[in-house]
Chain A
Amino acid sequence: MKKEVDIAVIGGGPGGLAGAFSAGKRGLKVLILERGEELGGILNQCIHPGFGLLYFKEELTGPEYAERWIKMVEELDNIEIWTKTMVLEVSPDKRILAVNEKGLWEIKAKAIIFSMGCRERTQGNLAIPGTRPSGIFTAGTAQRFVNIEGYLPGEKILILGSGDIGLIMARRLRWEGAEVIGVVEKLPYPGGLTRNLVQCLEDYDIPLYLSHTVVEIKGKERLEGVYIAPVDDKGNPILENKKYISCDTLLLSVGLIPENELSEMAEIPLDGKTGGPFVDQFLMTEKEGFFACGNVLLVNDLVDYVSLQGLLAGESAEKYLKGEIKREKKLPVKINGNLRLVVPQYLSYPIILPEITFYFRVLNPKENSILYLKEKEKILKTWKYPMVKPAEMLVIKVSSSILENVEEINFVLEGSK
């Protein structure tokens, strides 16, 4: 079967919802393609609070945050929603092959918004030696089992990785009646927000083993325990000092990978640092008419940022259809010092937008940091941070007037230990 739309949005999580809403509000004919049974994506299983403080100025749970956006989208008649629909292929000429229970669809779109989100790194990616029993889950899978299906993945649980999902799951599992015996983190500092360390671990006396990792899996059928060992400053485990921890479940919260298999099919170049497509200030990828927002673009720490990126992607898609995006000149956004990644990775000229939001992640935790925006040796603007951490994104807005006539855009983050 065939279908033609202005904008196809791939993924109906927070990024896709905002992208669709933003494009739909502008009168475009939008189609959301969502593989799950309902809109909202992973928010539906994030039943804890902490969402929406930036965008709605109130603290919501994941399902509540999703519900608001779903309502906004459903109120617009020009947005069509297809759930239980899997996109199989995306071609560089903006043709989408999708499948659902009605049949196989060839969808032709004038612009495509990628909002596929991310997946979790797994046991397989880590290649932990030992046996292969049941009882090893990614934190997100465990979250789905507990929060949506109502089952505990285990009774005596160890968590590898101190990212926010892992910390939040520690508390959720404790509340549902499991014993959480610890969180193991390879790095010398925790991966999640301080708030979660305090309210999810300290509240329940759950120990956090920093600079440690799981080095061996034990148990033939169900997991029986693991060996953990300290790591040296290069991150290599010191196996002589390994110790046994008895547990029936190991949760992995060891990082997220933007899910860009479809972007790659459409021959869109990806940034090795973000794992997402290279984009300009419009969130348009190097292939014109393809936009990306949310965790498929870069792994965000707040859902509010995902929504904001979605809104921008929808707005930009309209600009693209109207022929307003010119790309007469392209300037890379350079990063130096304690910065690990930046989005957007380059600016297209003319800039058109009144201001540009830049998202950064830092390499190392540092106090008293200053972020400089430089053109060669000239400092254009500075921002001060009492503390920067890899777990927390830096998000700044820069007025376009500053960047209109520069020859170089160079962000440098300097700070003391």
Chain B
Amino acid sequence: MDVIIIGGGIVGTLIARQLSFYSLRILLLEKESDIAMGATKANSGIVHAGYDPLPNTNKAKTNVRGNKLYPELCSQLKVPFKRNGAFVLAFNDEEIKILEELKERGRINGVLGLEIISKEELLKREPNINPEVKRALYVPNSGITSPYLLAISALENAWENGVEVHLEEEVQGVIKEKGGYIVKTNKNSYFTKYIINCAGINGDEIIKMAGIDFSFEITPRKGEYFVLDKKMGNLVSSTIFPTPTPLGKGILVIPTVEGNILLGPNAQNINDKEDKTTTHEGLKEVWEKATKLVPNIPFSSVINTFAGIRASSNYKDFLIEEFNSHKGILNILGIDSPGLTSAPALAEIAEEWLREKEKLIPKKEAKKEREKTLYFRELTNEEREELIKRNPKWGHIVCRCEHVSEMEIIEFIRHPLTPKTLEALRKRLRVGTGRCHGAFCTPHILKILSKELGKPMNSFTLKGGNSKILFGENKVRWKNEKGS
């Protein structure tokens, strides 16, 4: 291999795509059953403007650059992106002072259009906000996207351009060799000239594995969220922030590109990197703080809760580093907020890094533009008619909440990069993510999987491993029982 990318989160997938435009042999390794399983799956989906990071940090630079790259990137990859703007709310004079500081910091970072507006102006634009608010910082460049659809589309694009992708393959050793490294996994070992370590919460372990002498530690921080029914979609149209504190950006009210509203995240330092549990105290905190920004949210509008883990580190800033002792390994780690926004800029940095080492020859046949994935719910009636004529399964709606047709499910099942799990289909198609939570469509989806792949319904899992959905057939116990 020329390049092995460790980690299939938003950073790894965008780097894979960026490098796929060149004649390189590239392999992306992901230890989970699907890509976008860590922070990329469970985060706020915000494309930040960049007023928040301290000037001249990696965070500030990549944030502002990333924000600029988003519209074109999402349009090439056919992923939803919306500049919905944001408001940072101040409820007292002290907070108003901080808004002024943020505005100034934004100016230094190169963020355009920041403006402090009055309560009246704010309530005109966002009438559901707590009327006790005093002022707000208006951030026109703030946006929203779907982090996992972006990662999936980026990697599918990279794969179309020749990048190899191995799921459920965990890196277990990195050994220095002449002219490169041996990467050992649970399944294989590979020689590669370059490694890009963007392994998220496990990135520090890769550093240790490679024998790099650098005191770097991921200090995972968990964030919990509520998801509200689409009926609440009109609650706010912009992303609503409280005034930040030294501890972070705080708990927000966030519209999503799908039309739901997210409340969250809180921030809790945890020891266990796998601890994606929601807690009583955490959810309570999120609810209380979110409803301080936007009061009168009925609890019955909650359709889901989840927790995600930020790969924060003791380094504070993003670590973007090739160590002298280990030339050829680029570490891009500690990618917490604004990681999603910065990811396209981080991909550019990875490309530039490689360009200094190798002559990058553009691949003629490589594509940057992808064809639009057809989602029944987004099509016009004429387009729907046309597709149903071509294949009647376009007219069979399996998911009643999100209006997903049988054909969409079949097409995704047939894509080589789609894991054959329920969660993988949920991420890609939103089947089972609506208000019924899969109660109606799960049996149908398992049936379609079973038919497509010729395996029994009870052989499928939620998310790989031991997460099976069904057990044995009815009465197996009686059948196997001895005696009459």
Contact = CB atoms under 8 A, between A and B. Distances in A.
A319 to B, nearest CB: 31
A151 B439 contact: no
B283 A221 contact: no
B274 A220 contact: yes
A150 B437 contact: no
A276 to B, nearest CB: 15
Chain B at the A interface: mostly helix, strand, loop or mixed?
Answer: mixed
Interface string B245-282: 00000000000000000000000000000101111101
Contact of A150 (B282, B400, B403, B474): B474
B443 A144 contact: yes
Interface of B: 226-227, 231, 274, 276-280, 282-283, 300, 302-306, 381, 384-385, 388-389, 392-393, 395-397, 400, 403, 422, 435-440, 442-443, 446-447, 457-458, 461-478
Contacts of A104: 381, 384-385, 388, 395
Max count, chain A CB within 10 A of own CB: residue among B302, B440, B458, B468: B440
A134 B437 contact: no
B82 to A, nearest CB: 23
A155 B480 CA distance: 15
Nearest to A133: B467
Given A122-B437, A146-B474, A152-B470, 8 more contacts: A35-B400, A84-B396, A99-B388, A124-B305, A149-B446, A177-B472, A178-B477, A221-B466
Number of contact residues on A: which range applies?
35 or more
A191 B327 CA distance: 67
Given A99-B388, A101-B388, A141-B439, A151 B400 contact: no
Contacts of B446: 149
B466 A132 contact: no
Contacts of A155: 471
A215 B470 CA distance: 24
A177 B440 contact: no
Contacts of A84: 396
Contacts of B422: 134
B474 to A, nearest CB: 4
A153 B303 contact: no
Contact of A86 (B300, B303, B388, B400): B400
Interface string A228-257: 000000000001000000001000000000
B396 A100 contact: yes
B302 A177 contact: no
B439 A138 contact: yes
Contacts of A100: 395-396
A100 B394 CA distance: 8
Contacts of B282: 129
A71 B113 CA distance: 67
A148 interface: yes
A119 interface: yes
B276 A221 contact: no
Nearest to A179: B477
17 contacts: A97-B381, A101-B396, A102-B395, A104-B385, A119-B440, A125-B300, A127-B283, A134-B461, A134-B468, A134-B469, A141-B443, A149-B446, A151-B457, A152-B471, A152-B472, A248-B471, A264-B231
Contact of A149 (B306, B393, B437, B457): B457
Interface of A: 35, 84, 86, 88, 97, 99-104, 119-120, 122-125, 127, 129-135, 137-138, 140-141, 144-146, 148-155, 176-178, 215, 220-222, 239, 248, 264
B473 A152 contact: yes
A141 B422 CA distance: 15
B392 A222 contact: no
Closest 6 CB pairs of A and B: A177-B477, A101-B392, A122-B437, A134-B462, A86-B397, A124-B304
Given A100-B395, A133-B462, A221-B463, A150 B381 contact: no
A259 to B, nearest CB: 9
Given A124-B305, A220-B274, A145 B470 contact: yes
B376 to A, nearest CB: 8
B471 A151 contact: yes
Contacts of B305: 124, 127, 129
A240 to B, nearest CB: 12
Contacts of A129: 277-280, 282-283, 305
B443 A149 contact: yes
A155 B475 CA distance: 11
A155 B474 CA distance: 11
Given A101-B393, A124-B302, A132-B276, A151 B473 contact: yes
A128 B303 CA distance: 11
A253 to B, nearest CB: 12
B303 A131 contact: no
A100 B381 CA distance: 13
B221 to A, nearest CB: 18
A222 B439 contact: no
A96 B461 CA distance: 37
A131 B276 CA distance: 6
Nearest to B474: A176
A232 B122 CA distance: 42
Nearest to B422: A134
Contacts of B389: 103
A217 to B, nearest CB: 8
A279 B126 CA distance: 34
Contact of A151 (B231, B466, B474): B474
Contact of B443 (A125, A132, A148): A148
B300 A222 contact: no
B448 to A, nearest CB: 13
B225 to A, nearest CB: 11
A239 B400 CA distance: 37
> Residue among A134, A178, A222 with the most chain B CB within 10 A?
A134
Given A104-B381, A221-B467, A222-B467, A127 B302 contact: yes
B274 A119 contact: no
A102 B282 CA distance: 49
A273 B422 CA distance: 35
Contacts of B477: 176-178
B392 to A, nearest CB: 4
A145 B277 CA distance: 28
A158 B367 CA distance: 52
B470 A124 contact: no
A101 B466 CA distance: 36
A221 B392 contact: no
Contact of B395 (A101, A134, A138): A101
Given A124-B304, A132-B276, A88 B437 contact: no
A124 B457 contact: no
Contacts of A123: 437
B480 to A, nearest CB: 9
A119 B436 contact: yes
A35 B441 CA distance: 12
A131 B277 contact: yes
B447 to A, nearest CB: 8
